[in-house]
Structure 1
Amino acid sequence: MTTRRRSRSDGARAAPKAPEGDGDRNDERAAERAVDRTSPEALQAAALRYLNRYDASVEQLRRVLLRQAQRHAAPAQLPEVRRHVDALLARFQESRLLDDGRYADTLARGLRERGASTIRIRQKLRQRGVAETIVEEVLQRAASEPGDADLNAARAYARRRRLTTRYDLTNPAERQKALAALARQGFSYGTAVAALGASSDDGWEEP
């Protein structure tokens, strides 16, 4: 007499079926959560949290809020969310909580102190979405201040990267490497030469 082996599937219990209507309720709850995170109140709270941690341009904050919306909102909701974001940014600008002129000035000054050239500062401000007119105003103000802004920045970069100690500036090949390091940061040849000559510890000057 042969005995039929019981397969694992014979004893497997069927998964309980979800009660009718549960799927619809889950979809509704997901939609409610999306609305909660993309409502005007939620967007404002997210914007304030971000500004509490970082300074930002108008466009930069817009990108942050829209990324949040795209994670949580259905495609059909996005046009309305964009309108909420635009209204929020307009209020923030009116109250001066967002001010691209102030933001650009602060960022440009910080970059300059760390040794950024005018070319690099312009690139950074454009990447952050600052309007071209504001970028040019900020750079013109820097250019009108006493001293050579790019030369001072090149000297700061040379000090920070220790170019005059890493390279023997009396050796033409070594000097060329130091000049190339400054050129890659957007400084002109003349500015690079002046910066290295002025900051050289051994008194080296460009002939």
Structure 2
Amino acid sequence: MLDFTIIPEFRWDEIHGTTESIWIMTPLLDLQPLPLSAPYNKEFESTYSSTIHMFNEIQTQVFQADNNVYVNAPTGSGNTICAEVSLLRLWNMRDQHRAICIELYQEMVHLHVVKWRAKFSNLQGGKQIWDVLWHQRRNVQTIGLLIADEIHLVGGEVVPTYEIVISRMWYVLVQKELKARIVACSTFFTQHKSLWRVDG
């Protein structure tokens, strides 16, 4: 559950018009699963060596990318590791940018904070953090990675705030021409084209 002040200045149609975006979904390629040592990153290896030894097909396809990515795969396919790899990739870059992970429910925020502090140490979590960041636009402009979890729930009646957060973040990135990466994860979702019409 997110709780923050919404300023009524969102004007999507004025920026993008009313035309629909066309997204080409990438099927899984016939790639040989890569070993954990493939990123040539000792920190990465030490973090995951006790839990995995090989990337699965989905992780193999996305772990070296720097572009926006939508991981639409069944539960248990390693979506979370795809998001975590994007974190490590960001932190290995020369420029120090912030990473934001947006979750629908406070319980999920707490779960990720506990889990990621054990893996990555110095992390913060909670609805108040996004509120502080959003009120300081210069802080928003330092975001290099936005992880949107459970993105298949966008557009539902229960979670309109989640949709607003992601849409507003996308709006700022476009307006300011910021080169932040968006990694969106969802369980298997057949209506992904409708989803991208909402937030693409």
TM-score using structure 2 length: 0.23
User: RCO greater where, 1 or 2, for CA within 8 Å and sep 6 or more?
Assistant: 2
Larger Rg: 1
The structure whose residues are more often helix, as a share, is: 1
TM-score using structure 1 length: 0.23
